[in-house]
Amino acid sequence: MHIQILTVGKLKERYLVDGIAEYVKRLGPYAKVQMIEVPDEKAPENMSTAEEQQVRVKEGERLLAKLAADVYVVALAIDGEMWTSEQLAGSLDKLATYGRSQVAFVIGGSLGLSSEVLRRADMRLSFGRMTLPHQLMRLVLVEQIYRAMRINRGEPYHK
């Protein structure tokens, strides 16, 4: 399986970089994982709704430019479906079984994803109704992908 994790912004916090690197290393026997960052749009602190929309559109264009036509796209969105780890594992297993082994998980910037990216997505996945920093979401996502791979192989992993 080939998994892309496509994100907005550069990850700077050392603890997040180290944590993500550890899980990507652990995923080596299960999947090829590629982390792709696109630049975030510089924006003032107090933006109007229209300015926020413009930021999402510009970031969305950068994200869409990195997605191949045949990739299965999972958009991380607060209004998406909430799954258990086992459901994520089952979904990834089903995709691989039916020839959809190219999967991209897309994480937006601090303002979320543009409507264009959400339309391109094959599904929307939520990790809960609470807002999480998009930088932290990368670590949570890569850990859950690792957990899913272990589940699919019947290998033990903490509950």
- Residues 3-32: tens digit of each pLDDT: 999 999 999 899 999 999 999 999 999 999
Q: Annotated binding residue at 26?
A: no
Question: Edge-to-edge strand order for the sheet containing 123-126?
Answer: 32-38, 2-8, 102-107, 72-82, 123-126
Q: Annotated binding residue at 138?
A: no
Residue 129 confidence class, pLDDT cut points 50, 70, 90: confident
Q: Annotated binding residue at 120?
A: no
Q: Annotated binding residue at 132?
A: yes
Residues of the chain above pLDDT 70, percent:
99
Q: Annotated binding residue at 108?
A: yes
User: pTM of this prediction?
Assistant: 0.94
Q: Annotated binding residue at 128?
A: yes
Mean pLDDT calculated for residue range 34-53? 92
- Contact criterion met (CB below 8 Å) for 80 and 87: no
Phi, psi dihedral angles at 91 (to 5 degrees): -65, -45
Q: Annotated binding residue at 113?
A: no
